[in-house]
Structure 1
Amino acid sequence: MIPPAPNTALAALLTLAASSLVAGTTLLAKAVGTGALGPALHPLQVSQGRFLFAFLAFATAAAVLRPRLHRPAWGTHTLRVVFGWGGVSFMFAAAAFIPLADATAISFLNPVVALLLAALILREKVGPVRLSAAALALAGAMILLRPTPEAFRPEALLALGAALMLGCETIVIKRLSGREPAFQILLVNNVIGVVLASLAAAFVWQAPTPAQWAALAGIGGLMALAQTCFITAIARADASFVAPFWYATLVFAALYDLALFGVIPDAVSAAGAVIIVAGAALLAWREARLRPSAASRSGTAPKP
């Protein structure tokens, strides 16, 4: 299989789109897990809903498009699902014990984990600019979410587990993205995921209300779109380049608060958002300067 041509600008835009969708799933998951739409559902059941409806979306697409599938690397796919399912479940569990802002702040260490693992495992070049951009974005996340000392209670280790799991998942996705078609990765991921999540949720399952069914369907649908954007993005740029753009999820969450609930960010929130965007912009600017230089040395024009 011929890998897609590198395109860091497209990868950045797709990652931003994915982060906006993930922010939407977080809002719905909070509503389902806190009793806003009926009796609160267990985090494992919310995770099952996420995989079930995402699987239905990709299975429907497969029935219509009839894509040509290659032999999947089942072991690698299973490892990716374990990391992804574990990360989401840890995140939902952490939100039940500590403030959501604190849990999110800790779990958003996962792009830093992915960046470091990309250097250690994938041997990607992570220079001072990329490290600085990741550090800058992380600083903005900490300012925006205002983590309190309570975040360091023992329960906060659940959120730390989410960060580690999701960071590892990013690396596994990168390994798959150059070997199998993007759609196959998404389809197989959700086939395995719905089986694993259903087995775990069987012990805590309860009948959702109609509103909760709708929210679970929304979580799965939005996550399916987010996965599509992310898989396409990471196939076109290094994992260490894509990782810092995930911090935009925090910015989108603030925008949703403003649009849906009229919550106006204060000066501290605005400062955090600006710093996050600055970190991503620094990374994009550096990549844009490096690619033409490399192309001029090789005597070819940069690919779109």
Structure 2
Amino acid sequence: MSVSAPNQDRDRSGRSTPIIDPGNQYDERTPLLGEPREGRPPAAPWSTVWAQSKGMVLVMLSQFFGASMNVMTQMLEWKGKNGEGLHPFQILFARMSITVVVSYLYMWYAGVPHPFGTRPVFGLLMLRAAGGFWGVYGLYYSVQYLALSEATVLTFLAPILSCYACSFFIPNETFTWKQQVAGLVSLGGVVLIARPFSAASPPQTPPAGPGIENSHRGSEADHVAATIMALVGVMGASCAYTAIRMIGQRCHPLVSVTYFSSFTTIVSLVAMLTLPSVPLELPGTPMEWSLLVGLGVCGFLLQFLLTAGLAYVPPSRASEKTAGEEDGDETDDDDDDRPQERSATSSGSRATSMLYTQMVFAVLYDKMVWGSTLSIVSWIGSGLIIGSALYVAVARERGPR
């Protein structure tokens, strides 16, 4: 480089004052204690760990707010003393309308460029919106008749399907036959949770919590129907996750959130205006208002953190190691491209695997709020799904290496 040679001459002549090019903060400086030979200041260990783990941490935090949102939804759908519980469309309208307002206000305040997206990613944004709607509606419907932990564990099929879809649509993504077998094993876990042919063991519904009556004593048919709707939600969520991965950092995360929330708000409003069984009504008690507001806040944080975590691509460690050798390597551009592609694939797998942490929060909420636990058969099915999904995440990360 033309700038480094003069700096090196001054260092050899005994000059101790560093000369820093204002156009590049990483040009040669006077060596500090422990400074690497390529002239870059040493990165703090915590900052390196954070840079590599930021996507995983964001997704894990999103799952806490997701589990909190789900238990609030279940409480609204199991409302007791004031009559029938709220319909999923009513809850979706309340939650998503709050998310739309908060998202647009934040983008206006922060000056986010292209708040309505750009033409190249418009189709992917619409796919993310439609898939996200079916994903959340399937979940909201299923928690009416399934325990929160059971409904949550069914959603763990979505990351597996998303990994399979990304292997087709994203370069350098692989999905081996072993990982496909893991997907079939997870389907066996779904059967154990659904128990569609077991008439002897009725489905477990969450017992009433403090001040909440359990008025939705679902039958076995309701249990199976809820499982089917949960699987429809899995397909929708898979489309949403795949679209988010394909969009990447080509638009701000809140743009994706506003597309999804706006689409869901419009569909829910149309459903309430056209379906006689789903009236457009306001909450009747302060508790319902509090739950709906909390639902909207948790929903916004869930979508923002989830989108930001899945779209985040950490810096390539391999490219950092070879940064000081780029002057003498004519094929450096090709070498940099390959580690960056592997890094993007690896980071997506690790971030996606954090979706499974919601099961921990769901089981905790089931015990604290409803006082219920999974049956032994459901625990076995849950273990099959979680184990298979975690294997897929690890295998996908190791596959390209």
Q: TM-score of the superposition, structure 1-length normalised?
A: 0.74
Conserved? CA contact 2:129–2:264, under 8 Å:
yes
Report the Cα offset of residue 32 of structure 1: 0.7
User: Do the aligned partners of residues 242 and 135 (structure 1) sit closer, same or farther apart at CA in structure 2, a change above 3 Å counting?
Assistant: farther
- With 277-286 and 33-42 compared, the bigger mean Cα shift is at 277-286
Alignment correspondent of 1:297? none
Q: Matched residues in 2 for 1:99 and 1:77: separation? A: 32
The structure 2 residue matched to 1:21, chosen from 52, 65, 69, is 65
Q: Secondary structure at the match of 1:190?
A: helix
Between Structure 1 and Structure 2, how many residues are aligned?
A: 285
Counterpart check, 1:189 vs 2:236 = no
Q: In structure 2, do the counterparts of structure 1 residues 240 and 132 end up closer, same or farther at CA, with 3 Å as the change threshold?
A: farther
Q: 1:57 aligns with which of 75, 92, 102?
A: 102
Distance in 1 (CA, whole Å) between partners of 2:182 and 2:353 is 5
The answer to whether structure 1 residue 42 and structure 2 residue 87 are counterparts is: yes
TM-score scaled by length of structure 2: 0.58
- Indicate yes or no: 2:134 matched with 1:86: yes
Query: Matched residues, percent identical?
Result: 21
CA distance, structure 1, for counterparts of residue 149 and residue 51 of structure 2: 33
Q: Structure 2 unaligned segments of length 5 or more: list them.
A: 1-49, 197-219, 314-343
Could you tell me how far apart the structure 2 residues matched to 1:187 and 1:79 are? 13
Q: Say whether 1:206 aligns with 2:281.
A: yes
Aligned to 2:243: 172
Greater relative CO (CA pairs within 8 A, separation 6+): 1
Task: Report deviation, 1:23.
Answer: 0.6
Match of 1:300 in 2: none
Q: Over alpha carbons, which structure has the higher Rg? A: 2
Cα offset, 1:266, TM superposition: 9.2
Give the Cα–Cα distance (whole angstroms) in 2 for the partners of residues 264 and 76 of structure 1. 39
Q: Tell me the distance in 1 between the aligned counterparts of 2:136 and 2:236.
A: 9
| Deviation for aligned residue 1:21 | 1.1
AA matched with 2:363 = A
Q: 1:224: which partner in 2?
A: 300
Indicate if the aligned counterparts of 2:153 and 2:359 stay in contact, CA closer than 8 A: no
Measure, in 1, the Cα distance between the counterparts of 2:94 and 2:283. Answer: 10
The match for 1:243 is 352
Cα deviation, 1:141-190, whole Å, max 9, x if unaligned, reads 769x9543358835532221111111111111222233212233223433
Deviation at 1:7, TM superposition (A): 5.5
Aligned equivalents of 2:302, 2:228: Cα separation in 1: 26
Q: Secondary structure at the match of 1:96?
A: coil
Letter in 2 for 1:148: R
Cα gap change, 1:37/1:50 in structure 2, threshold over 3 Å: closer, same or farther? Answer: farther
**C-alpha spacing 1:118/1:64, structure 2 compared with 1 (3 Å):** same
Distance 1:52 1:137, change over 3 A: farther
**Residue 10 of structure 1 contacts residue 233 of structure 1 at CA under 8 Å; is this kept in 2?**
yes
Name the CA shift for 1:134/1:197 in 2 (closer, same or farther; >3 Å).
farther
**Once the two structures are superposed, what CA deviation does each residue of 1:239-287 show, in whole Å capped at 9, x if it has no partner?**
4443332121111112234555666889999996799489659956985
Counterpart residue number, 2:159: 111
Cα distance in 1 for partners of 2:195, 2:116 equals: 48
Seen in structure 2, the aligned counterparts of structure 1 residues 70 and 48 have a Cα distance that, compared at 3 Å, is: closer
> Relative to 1, partners in 2 of residues 1:140 and 1:246: Cα closer, same or farther, differing over 3 Å?
farther
1:71-82 to structure 2, matched below 5 A, reads: 72=117, 73=119, 74-82=122-130
Q: Which amino acid aligns with 2:282?
A: A
Unaligned runs of 5+ residues in structure 1 are 1-5, 295-304
1:148 to 195, 216, 222: 195
The two structures, once aligned, show a CA RMSD in angstroms of 3.9
Superposed CA offset, 1:220-253 (max 9, x none)? 2112111111111111254444333212111111
Deviations 1:47-71 (A, max 9, x none): 1122111112212322432322266
In the TM superposition, residue 88 of structure 1 has moved relative to its aligned partner by 1.4
Corresponding letter in the other structure for 1:234: L
